[in-house]
Amino acid sequence: MKKLGKLFSLKMPPMYDRWIHAAVIILIFFGSIMVVSTSVGMSAQSPNIVRNTIIKQVLFLIISYFAMVKVARVFQVWLRNKNFLQVLDVIGVLVAALLVFVVLFSTPVNGAKSWIQLPGGLGTIQPSEFAKAFLIVYMGVNIYHIGPQRKTLMQIIFRPTFFFIVFALLIIAQPDFGTIVVLTMIFLICNIVPSHFKLSGIQTLCKIALGCIVVGLAFSMTHFGITVLEKLLGADNYQLARFINADNPFTQIFGTGYNLTYSLYAIANGGITGLGLGQSAQKYGYLPEAETDFILPVTIEELGLFGLLVIVIGYGIILYRLFYFAKRAADDGTRMILVGTAVYLSIHFILNVGGVSAFLPLTGVPLLFISSGGSSLLSIMVLMGVCQSIISLIRRQRKRVLR
């Protein structure tokens, strides 16, 4: 009975970070309220949508929170196991297999084959979200076990690079522009973290690649850049339309700029105070994907600046604490996981907020903790569990040093 009690215990590990834990709980409950609120807008087409949304959201929360706690309690033990990297190899192959299945057999949605439909109306699985979380953990564990040893450069970077290339090629085949940007940024920034990469030239190459991405994106947002993209991609390319709409969505209000136009309407309607919880007008058939990609405009329309501040403050607390403990990590592997998780959160936030407000092209990435979606919620909650386990380890190590 004691073993069974430990299995289902929801106690976090000793010396975990309560600030991160509180911020995560506030964000997921706030997000759930907004997901249920947006589902009301689809009740005319589907009378049971609100009830089904509540059931699914509660199920997602229970599974994700349970996964976070369990991972937080056992990851330290896994990390010290010399065979853990081989276990992760198997998990990586399974993630790649899911991505292959998506490319070959899934039904396209909005031009992309990114989801596996679950039976019984339980929703969908998006394997690319698991790929992001896996890559962060795999790169950190790889450096933790073999980085400090006298290994060749190829031995250190080969396995993570192999998985990155496989995942990237399969995601490009879907195609999913937003996910490939997030995955690439995670890979490049994580490779800047290890101190022993400075002399190898890896850090320099990754910094150059990051600079090229930022400069290329900025150039693509200019009128001249859009003209160049039009010649390269063709006038009818749907990726090009995202850059054109970010420049001026009102030129295609009833075409490719429809979603972004009504997103801006929702943000403008909300103003500072908002219209009130549940009072959004745009969610009633005007704004597609209101519960996923465009949940932020609905949040601002209903709750105004307060709704935005809850999300920004919650993210700010988590990011600050992750970087705080990353600076205090005793090894590059655990530091890489903390930084990688912070990058995962930051890039999603920047791309989602920038996309729905027309500062950046729309990418379709969810607002983590807030948007509807079991795959993204489970992935980020597992990463939060990994980070809490690492934070507990860092605190114990520093406590022993102080003694």
Q: Say yes or no to pLDDT of 375 above 50.
A: yes
Task: List the domain boundaries for the chain.
Answer: 19-390
The whole-number pLDDT of residue 387 equals 96
User: Averaged over 291-309, what is the pLDDT?
Assistant: 91
Q: Say yes or no to pLDDT of 100 above 70.
A: yes
Q: Where would I find the beta strands (DSSP E) of 242-339? A: none
Q: Say yes or no to pLDDT of 233 above 90.
A: no
Query: Cis (ω within 30 of 0) for the bond into 175?
Result: yes
- Residue 268: how many CB atoms within 10 A of its CB? 11
The whole-number pLDDT of residue 4 equals 44
For residue 124, the surrounding DSSP H or E stretch is strand 124-125
Across 97-101, 193-197, 217-221, 225-229, least confident range:
193-197
Q: Are 187 and 137 in contact (CB under 8 A)?
A: no
Residue 272, CB-side half-sphere exposure with 13 Å CA sphere: 0
Is residue 32 left, alpha or beta, with left meaning phi > 0 and alpha meaning psi from -120 to 50?
Answer: alpha
How far, CA to CA in Å, does 25 sit from each of 63, 128, 129, 239, 277? Answer: 14, 24, 20, 36, 20
Amino acid at residue number 308: L
User: Averaged over 108-112, what is the pLDDT?
Assistant: 71
Cβ-based neighbours of 61, under 8 Å, separated by 6 or more: 28, 32, 377
Query: Is the Cα dihedral 120, 126, 129, 133 positive or negative?
Result: positive
User: Residue 199: pLDDT band by 50, 70, 90 thresholds?
Assistant: low
Q: Say yes or no to pLDDT of 135 above 60.
A: yes
Summarised one tens digit per residue, pLDDT across range 251-268 is: 778 777 888 888 898 999
Whole-model pTM?
Answer: 0.91
Q: Say yes or no to pLDDT of 49 above 50.
A: yes
Q: Say yes or no to pLDDT of 9 above 70.
A: no
User: Averaged over 363-389, what is the pLDDT?
Assistant: 92
How far, CA to CA in Å, does 195 sit from each of 147, 198, 203, 332, 387? Answer: 10, 6, 9, 7, 20
Instruction: Tell me the backbone φ, ψ of residue 238, rounded to 5 degrees.
Output: -70, -25
Tokens of 272: 């500072």
Quickly tell me which residue has 């009301």 as its tokens: 40
User: Residue 158: pLDDT band by 50, 70, 90 thresholds?
Assistant: confident
Can you say how many angstroms the Cα of residue 110 is from the centroid of all Cα atoms in its chain?
A: 20
Q: Are 226 and 240 in contact (CB under 8 A)?
A: yes
Amino acid at residue number 379: S
Q: Say yes or no to pLDDT of 149 above 90.
A: no
User: Averaged over 228-245, what is the pLDDT?
Assistant: 77
User: Residue 361: pLDDT band by 50, 70, 90 thresholds?
Assistant: confident
Tokens of 315: 């993210």
User: Residue 23: pLDDT band by 50, 70, 90 thresholds?
Assistant: very high
3-state DSSP percent of the chain in helix, strand and coil, to 5: 70, 0, 25
**Whole-angstrom Cα distance, residue 304 to residue 314?**
16
